[in-house]
Structure 1
Amino acid sequence: MQVDFYQLTRDPAEKVIPVLAQRVLDGGGRMLVVSGEGDQLNRLSTALWNAKPDSFLAHAKAGEGDDALQPILLSTAPDAANGARFVALADGEWRDEALGFDRIFYLFPPSHTDNARTAWRTLANREDVERRYWKQDGGKWVQGP
């Protein structure tokens, strides 16, 4: 399994998630986006609707439709009712339940750096986890040390 740590120093999760989701969908996958903040889920929904000028990224909030049919499902819990193998933790909170997915995108703002460091150190002891750290450099993402 792969865990990608994204330190959000320039863009908020609402700008990053649509890009990650598009890549997952382009590869034939499904994504679960998790946030414990209802307001953030609303902002993420709007961002997915407005991600492209000529279309949108199909999605729904958990419990507001047929969850199993959604290519992107927004939820407060890491429960992939849509069969997703990719999960984005959008609110900066690490959840061990995410370790059941093939790939985890852990997005955290500077205020959650301590949480990210703890998760990084904890995952270092697992042989089945590949960790990657990404930071923003100008307008692009670069892999950190």
Structure 2
Amino acid sequence: MGAAYFYHLTRRPLEETLPVLLERARGAGWRVIVRGQTPRRMDWLDEKLWLLGEDSFLPHGLSGGPHDADQPVLLTTGPGNPNRAACLMSVDGADVTPEEVTALERICVLFDGNDADALDKARGQWRALTKAGCAAQYWSEESGRWEKRAET
């Protein structure tokens, strides 16, 4: 059984935090799904991940291509697990289910701490997942480094 990790972004934006978490997940040997809300936002993330820098390369792809099953990191707006991922990263309030928490090694919910709607959505996700019996951790970067602030 996996766990849901909630990442409250207050100092660094998504485009800086996501690559770090993706590298850690890949370092654990996991394939990853990054689930967002809109195709336009996923296109934006795709561009950001390709432009990480000369010393960094993070292989990934947008869903809907002929090689979705082969992607180590797949950006999508849909449900399912076409690349047999062990980790799902939810961005921009994309839904996750208790069944996904149970089936996968890790669920990461990244949310913008400067956006009231994003905070409300993340709080609702926390309540729904913990009420369903899922293990969860809340991480904050408010102090300047990531610290675990709560765990169920």
> Aligned-pair distance for 1:78?
3.0
What residue number does 2:130 align with? 124
List aligned pairs for 1:86-105, cutoff 5 A: 86-96=87-97, 98-99=100-101, 100-105=103-108
What residue number does 1:73 align with? 74
What residue number does 2:7 align with? 6
More off after superposition, 81-90 vs 6-15: 6-15
> Aligned-pair distance for 1:138?
4.5
Give 5+ residue unaligned stretches, structure 1. none
| Amino acid across the alignment from 1:103 | R
- TM-score of the superposed pair, with normalisation by structure 2: 0.84
The answer to whether 1:114 aligns with 2:114 is: no
> Aligned-pair distance for 1:47?
2.3
2: distance between equivalents of 1:134 and 1:18? 17
* Aligned-residue RMSD, C-alpha: 1.8
State the identity %: 35
Q: Secondary structure at the match of 2:146?
A: strand
Q: Is the 8 A contact 1:6 1:105 kept in 2?
A: yes
Q: Secondary structure at the match of 1:17?
A: helix
Q: Is the 8 A contact 1:7 1:135 kept in 2?
A: yes
With over 3 angstroms needed to count, the CA separation of the structure-2 counterparts of 1:80 and 1:133, relative to structure 1, is: same
> Aligned-pair distance for 1:52?
4.4
> Aligned-pair distance for 1:51?
2.8
2: distance between equivalents of 1:140 and 1:51? 21
Matched residues, number? 144
| Amino acid across the alignment from 2:129 | L
**TM-superposition CA deviations, 1:72-120 (whole Å, max 9, x none):** 0000113221110100001123332643422100111233111211221
- TM-score of the superposed pair, with normalisation by structure 1: 0.87
What residue number does 2:38 align with? 37
2: distance between equivalents of 1:24 and 1:53? 21
